[in-house]
Amino acid sequence: MTAPLKHSDPVNVEVALGNRAYDIVIGRGVLASLGERVAALRPGVRTAIVTDRTVAKHWLEPTEASLAASGIPTSRVVVEEGEISKTYAGLEKVSEALIAAKIERNDLVIALGGGVVGDLAGFAAAILRRGVDFVQVPTSLLAQVDSSVGGKTGINSPQGKNLLGAFHQPVLVVADTAVLDTLSPRQFRAGYAEVAKYGVLGDEAFFTWLEKNHSDIFKGGSAREHAIATSCRAKAGIVSRDERETGERALLNLGHTFGHALEAATGFSDRLFHGEGVAIGMTLAAQFSAKLGMIGEADASRVERHLIEAGLPTRLQDIAGFAQEGLADADALMALMAQDKKVTRGKLTFILLEAVGRAVIAKDVEPAPVRDFLKDKLALRA
């Protein structure tokens, strides 16, 4: 592992996509440089900032000030916080506002927020005038290490998570680690699940480092920047090799087949944040891998133990309102998993483990063993 970054040392991680390559700028206080970076990237550009009400209270004015200091005109589109905005109605609101703001093809949409805002603003940019470029300014840990990188944009359907969307790469990502200080502890923990995921799926040394240093990440020490940069490098490498998820990129969905079904079962509500669903899903994936004899029980327990130490849920019974119909029912969860984007001709695809730090794509998984596994997990005492 490389030495942790100092707070004073911003780092650039390149997403190498040929003439569509872009930088992820990571560091404490880098939001102030947004205007300068945008002006250098697109001289004479106009922008529209899409954000949510909570983020707007803290970071909208500093973002506008940075753009204004570089002579960049901007407008604002403010949506409600949370998955409630990642819908057909939310997409219509943002799209119509961007049209009203006269954002043209040579302008930029700026997504200022967490994963919901990034997905929503990015999708609106992708379809506006058949494609307008956008900049990601992620304000949650989850967005900084995962959703802001790689060009996945979209909204939810009532039938499932992220079933409508487009691959639309940003032209710049500015990840200011100072903005994470305003997150609630629960939001930060939820984002940490995606950090741990990179270690579990492909970097056992990083996972070992996280086991020793996660408390410093939570406290805001220099380990925070190091964890974010390491995560971004891992994702950038995978995206550059498999932009449209025809192969290796599917590994990034570790925990997501289970997790997305749980999010749908809870109505995409604050009963279960996305990262919390990933934490439970990752634990279930490790345990299912052990059940299939792919890894030992000790490895599955190691994954769960670390997530518990980080304050994350790892069991179905940890979800608020667990006993409600549709969540404590294996057949209902199987029906939701059947809507997963990775399903092919009705056969499930799971990301499973051969070791901590080595994930594999398991295609054509028969439903019956999964259903039996879920029934066993649902039967556990709370």
Q: Please identify every residue annotated as catalytic.
A: 130, 152, 194, 235, 245, 249, 253, 256, 260, 274
Q: Is 84 flagged in the annotation as binding?
A: yes
Q: Is 139 flagged in the annotation as binding?
A: yes
Q: Is 326 flagged in the annotation as binding?
A: no
User: Which of 216, 127, 128 is CA-nearest to residue 165?
Assistant: 127
Q: Rounded distance, CA 186 to CA 282, Å?
A: 18
Q: Is 7 flagged in the annotation as binding?
A: no
Phi-psi region of 364 (alpha: psi -120 to 50; beta: other; left: phi over 0): left
Q: Is 354 flagged in the annotation as binding?
A: no
| 287 and 255 Cβ atoms separated by less than 8 Å | no
Q: Is 116 flagged in the annotation as binding?
A: yes
Residue 154: both structure tokens together = 């979209």
Q: Is 184 flagged in the annotation as binding?
A: no
Q: Is 314 flagged in the annotation as binding?
A: no
Q: Is 81 flagged in the annotation as binding?
A: yes
Q: Rounded distance, CA 197 to CA 126, Å?
A: 28
Q: Where are the beta strands (DSSP E) in the chain?
A: 11-15, 22-27, 47-52, 74-79, 108-113, 133-138, 152-157, 160-167, 172-176, 348-355, 358-365
Quick one: CA torsion of 259, 182, 219, 34, rounded to 10 degrees? 90
Q: Rounded distance, CA 59 to CA 309, Å?
A: 31
Q: Is 119 flagged in the annotation as binding?
A: yes
Q: Is 291 flagged in the annotation as binding?
A: no
Q: Is 85 flagged in the annotation as binding?
A: yes
What residue numbers does the annotated binding site for NAD(+) cover?
Answer: 81-86, 115-119, 139-140, 152, 161
What residue numbers does the annotated binding site cover?
Answer: 81-86, 115-119, 139-140, 152, 161, 194, 256, 274
What residue numbers does the annotated binding site for Zn(2+) cover?
Answer: 194, 256, 274
